[in-house]
Structure 1
Amino acid sequence: MTVTYEDVTSAAARIGGYVLRTPVLEISPGLFFKLEQLQHSGSFKVRGAFNRILSAGELPPSGVIAASGGNHGLAVAYAARALGVRAEIFVPEVTSPVKVAGLRRLGAEINQIGAIYSEAAEAAAKRAAETGALTVHAYDQPEVVAGQGTTGLELMAQTGGVDTVVVAVGGGGFAAGITVGVGSGPRIVAVEPVLCPTLHEALRAGHPVPVQVSGVGADALGASQVGGVAYDVLSRADVQSVLVSDDAIVAARHALWQEHRLATEHAGAAAYAALLSGAYVPADGERVAVVVCGANTDPATLA
């Protein structure tokens, strides 16, 4: 099952009244930041959440259900509240307290279970089978991927086109959506923490494989296996997979705050870490867009 450019443009029309057209900053000649951390609920995730829910038609009385490391849950809870439906969210024990508090503010029913995302996802699937609630997957549904791809449509329109898009990968839905949304021109640089190499290992194996995940980005990039929809898109595209250390991610997050006053969580800084650490080195004159994807963090930790 794959996602087409037409799926992304249809998603853009469907969700346009519900999501923000986030700004792009050209921070130096030919280097752009797409500021998805300014999106509703603090990340790009609401794009996919709205598209999945709005595509489903009439919803069951039990509403929607999702498993998440935090950001997807916040997005589903936000979309559910905006659309007047019930949301039940499963998150692992490693989820940031900031994100759990945000879920409470949005009125979601929270179930905190399991050590990692995959364990929360298993519990959510069991609960969905019991209640009949609509499952909104964090990254492995075509409607979710198409919704995330609207970021790519915006980016190309706002910049007039770029040569390369640098984006963080967890389960791969965001990178896959952007790959479809930007069309056939730009190269996609898919950035993962060394300790969460789901796409990297899948590309090396030739198919999705389970991996161990940990580290500073695990609450948002901690899917233990890349999604099938994402792998279908990314394995056929001109994707360069790069890995960055936790130290590089911490340094990039610090730089985004100190130099640009952009507040991000660690996962939100992972893409920029690839440039700062030299994991990806642009050619002279290359037009590069870095997607800054999440801001759900404790502000006290930014200094």
Structure 2
Amino acid sequence: MSANSISSHRLKNLVRYEWAIDRKFYLLGSFGIFMISFGVFLTVWFNQYSGYTWRSVDYNSVFFGGFVFLCVFGISQSFIDLREKNTSIRYLSLPASTLEKYLVQLFLRLILPLIIYPIVFWLGANLSVDVYYFIQRSVLEKLSLPEIEKVNVLYLYWLPNLTMELVYWILFGLIVSIPTLIFMGGIIFGKWNFIVMPLAVACILILFFGSYYGLSWLVNASAFGLGGNYSIRIDYPEVIEGIPLFILNCLILIWVAVFLPFVVTYFKLKEREV
């Protein structure tokens, strides 16, 4: 059997195997996210004051916080069978190609959670609004209540107005790179992935911005002297009109971080198969 062969029958069996082994993880994880979103917003509603309007776009901060939580504690559990010697031997000996195992992990541990999360978040948030109004009006008999808009899924992906179009792509790429990097970390760092990968990303960002700051000091040290300007200029120099070098570098590096983990993860799994 070739390492890159694909069979629908083997894929179906792999999905069944994954579900049989880790169905509690998927079910409890989905239910946990639902209860967290429901509980968080119900607490928020009871601390709202009358006259304030909670708009659909105001859910974004909590949604993104839950997204990071999902990545760190959910998507980080990719290739969990490769973390112990006995389960690793069992998993690697399954009758499936490397590509098939990779695709099943990619779908179940990365794509599926990202599809389920906004749906579960939407259900929990909107149910909390209904429960809040029911308790306030029917149980506590209050009529003067804050106005709360229910969440619209499309507004969850709203990005703030930015002056430069490339910054949108940087921000979007930064968000997308979080789950892809965490997914890759599952096969590299194992059970410590949820700690090591965020620390590794933080260190890379510190080195990146630190090196830029250091080079700026070497080029123009007077700006950092007494009475100088300590801010980092990201609008100069421009490689193309309206496109600063710093912004272009960020764009390239972030989108490399989006796509490179897919390639690295596959070859790491192929290496384990050998």
Which protein shows a greater Rg? 2
Task: Report the structure, 1 or 2, having the larger helix content.
Answer: 2
TM over 0.5: no
TM-score by length of 2: 0.28
Greater relative contact order: 1 or 2 (C-alpha under 8 angstroms, separation 6 or more)?
2
